[in-house]
Each structure stands twice: as C-alpha cells, then as structure tokens.
Amino acid sequence: MRRRSFLTLPAAAGALQAQDPQPRRPRVAAVMNVYRPDAHADVFMSRLLSCYRLNGKTCHPKVDVVSFYVDQFPINDMAHEQAEEYGIKIYPSVTEAICLGGKHLAVDGVAVIGEHGDYPRTPRGNFMYPRWRYFDEITSVFRADGRVVPYYNDKYLGYEWTDARRLYDRVREMKIPFIAGSTLPLTWRRPALEFPRGIELQELLCISFSDLEEHAYHGIELLQGMAERRKGGETGVESIRYVEGPEVWKLADPSLLDAALKTRVNKVIPDEKAVPQAIQIRYRDGLKASVLNLNGTTRDYLFAARAKGHAEPLASCFYIQLYNHNHWSFMVRNFEELVVNGKEPNPIERTLLATGITLFGLESRLQGGKWLETNELAALHY
C-alpha cells in the first residue's frame, strides 16, 4: 500500500464516524392499575408497544416502552406476557419503574393508566383508583431530581375533588408537560362538527350509556370540549344536579334529543328496564347543558346544540369503535407528540372541570338529586 493511500484511510473513517448517529428514541415508563384484555391498559399500551391504525394508515410508535409498574395481576393478566414479548422489566414500585431500578429519573415520559382493576367505590360511586398515589410518587422523583418529563394521566384526575385540584395545581407549579382525559373529544364526528371559537351557544345536550361514573364522564368531557369554544370561553359552572327516571326525558329541548339520536351509528340493544339518568349543568354565563345516560337507547356518544344564528340543532355522533377500539389511536398519537415534541393538544383545565362536574353530579345523586352549588367550579375560567 502506498503511503498516500494509507494516510487517506483514517480521514475517510473519521468522516464516517463524524456522521450523526441515530438519535436515541425516547424511553417511556408505563404505570398501570391492571393490564388485562380490553382494559384501558390493553387498548392504549398494546398500540404503543407495536403499532396502531389511524384513518386507514399504519403508524409505528415513536417511543420505546422500557418499564412497567402494575398494581394488580388478575387471572387474565397480560402484563407478564407482554413484558416477556417486548423485553420489558416489571418493577415492584412506581419509583423503581421510572428510575429503571436506579436512584434517579431514567425515562423521557410516563404513561399512567389508572383505570380498571378491583378497587372499591366511594359512597357516591367513584372507583377509588390510585391516580393520586401514582402522581405523588412520580412527582416526588421529579422534585428530587430537579427535572420533569411529559406525563399522561388516563381519564379524569381523581375520585376526590381535593386530589384532582392539587394534582392540577402541582402540574402548573412544576410546569409538567401534561395531558389527561377522555378519548371522546378526539374521536371521529359523524357528521363532521367543529365549532368556531366565539360561537354563541344557548343549550347543549350530550347522551352517553353504560355505568354513570365510568362512562357518563366521557360524555361530560365531550360536552365540555364543545362548550369551551363559546363566546367568552369557559366561565365556570354555577350548579349541578342529578336526575333519574321519567323526568330525564323532559330536561332537554325535544328537538335537541331528536337531533342527537338521529346520528346514532352502533346498533342498539333494547333494555326496557333501564332507568334513564342525567346530570344537569348550569354555567355562570347562563348556558344550560344536560348529560343523559340512556342505556337501552344508544351505544354511541351523541351531541346536540342550539346555537344563535342556526334554525336547526347542530348534532353529531362522536363515534367509537366498540370492539377494536381504534379511537384510542388518537390518544396514543397525542401521547407520542407530547413526549417527542412537548405538544399539549388540549387544555388540562377541561379535564379538571369535567372531573368536577362528574364528582358533583354523583354527590347530588347521593343527596337525592338536589341542586348543588359548585363554588369550586365557578372559578375555573380558561
């Protein structure tokens, strides 16, 4: 080999080495109540681990799930098989899961799926899911390390208002990139319906189904996602009450009820014995809203509104796929965007207010359906 040729080899090799290596993919810890078929952990995490479909396209995850904490292991547990399949370690504590067994925060994002599992209910009917415990443990590590990472909290913020409020306050205090809430504001709308900001709304109706605590919440956050776009933005909630029985059918403008029901997509399983339930909401600016929970009448989440300048109600089905759950792909995408780009797709205040409406609605049921003044919610403006 000639000397000149020999001397050029290290330079070429150095040039190759100088090229940017593949950037490390963000690492995520998953904290879950339970990982069983069709639980929220399944419909969210299984998509995040492999791939998911969204609007006819296959999407491959942009993050790597590297650790699990699982609170309960029922007979149909999926966590152990999924951990083995994907080479993920299941840690015995939340702290160890986000520190990967070490002493410091070792992940770039946290997904908390604090839904489902065998937990008792409060007297008002809320499942006592340990979302606050998870949040407190995780943010304690954040404080100790002096840094935060993006955080996803599945569904509502807490089964007690004090927990929900202090969770919100700590997120804002620590400037945690944070998303929470329901998939319903994210899913397909049939027909398409999007309110322009500043729309003048007069009355809102949402229809849900199944268990009031578990599923009417989705209707409440759906409704709030539409209400917050009205002229003046969100002004807070003045009072709330629970209603059941024949009176439910008289709560909303009949034309709103008819318009909403006409948008149903999924086939209905009739149930003549089902008792209609509702939560009525009075906003501080005079807007009226009702969330009707109508088992035997729908298996869709439906919405209708009366707005100034529109002779007919504006209505849509917020469509969910009952069996393959692909509407969850929107939430998986949002979580990835939060971790990769720090993008918060919707205001956490929406979830805080929807949490409060749910809690006060259930409290009204416990108190026999009386109107409850909601001073805690009246101050929520955004």
**pLDDT tens-place string over residues 353-368:** 999 999 999 999 999 9
Buried b (16+ CB within 10 A) or exposed e, 146-157: eebbbbbbbbbb
**Pick among 1.10.8, 1.10.3210, 3.30.360, 3.40.50: CATH of 186-319:** 3.30.360
Q: What is the pLDDT of residue 60?
A: 95
Cβ(236)–Cβ(376) under 8 Å? no
Bridge-based pairing of strands 178-181 and 151-154 is parallel
Mean pLDDT, to the nearest integer, of 197-208? Answer: 98
Contact between 148 and 105 (Cβ < 8 Å)? no
For the cut 50, the answer to whether the pLDDT of residue 151 exceeds it is: yes
Q: What is the pLDDT of residue 15?
A: 44
Of all residues in the chain, the percent with pLDDT exceeding 70 is: 94
**Where do the domains of the chain lie?**
27-181, 186-319
Residue 272's pLDDT is: 86
Residue 137, both tokens: 């443990």
Nearest to 208 by CA among 346, 354, 77: 354
pLDDT band at 373 (very low <50, low <70, confident <90, very high): very high
pLDDT value at residue 365: 98
> Has residue 17 got a pLDDT over 70?
no
Q: How far apart are CA 141 and CA 137, in angstroms?
A: 7
pLDDT at residue 159, rounded to an integer: 97
Residue 18 has pLDDT above 90, yes or no: no
Q: Sheet with 151-154: list strands edge to edge.
A: 89-90, 64-72, 27-34, 109-113, 151-154, 178-181
CB atoms near residue 205 (< 10 Å): 27
Q: What is the average pLDDT value for the chain, to the nearest integer?
A: 94
* pTM of the predicted model over 0.75: yes
Evaluate if residue 42 carries a pLDDT over 90. yes
Phi then psi dihedrals of residue 140, to 5 deg: -65, -40
Provide Rg for the chain, Cα atoms.
24
- Exposed (0-12), middle (13-18) or buried (19+): which is 119, by Cβ within 10 Å? middle
Residue 112 has pLDDT above 60, yes or no: yes
Where residue 65 falls among pLDDT bands split at 50, 70, 90? very high
What residue spans of the chain are helical by DSSP H?
A: 3-18, 40-49, 79-86, 94-99, 131-145, 161-174, 217-227, 254-261, 328-341, 348-366, 375-378
**Among residues of the chain, what percentage have pLDDT more than 90?**
92
DSSP letter at 103 equals S
Backbone angles phi, psi at 55, to 5 degrees: 55, 45
Structure-token pair, residue 375: 């001073």
For residue range 325-343, list pLDDT tens digits in order.
999 999 999 999 999 999 8
pLDDT given for residue 23 in this prediction: 79
pLDDT > 50? residue 6: no
Q: What is the mean pLDDT of residues 158-181?
A: 98
Confidence (pLDDT) at 252: 86
Confidence of residue 19 (pLDDT cuts 50, 70, 90): low
Residue 157 contacts residue 180 (beta carbons within 8 Å): yes
Residue listed under structure tokens 């917050």 = 228
Give me the pLDDT at residue 21, please: 64
CATH number belonging to the domain at 27-181, selected among 3.40.50.720, 3.30.450.20, 3.40.30.10, 3.40.50.360:
3.40.50.720
Crossing angle of helices 131-145 and 161-174, rounded to 10°: 20
Instruction: Average the pLDDT over 181-189 and give the result.
Output: 97
Does a cis peptide bond (omega within 30 degrees of 0) precede residue 191?
Answer: yes
Q: What is the pLDDT of residues 265-318, one digit of tens each?
A: 999 988 989 999 999 999 999 999 999 999 999 999 999 999 999 999 999 999
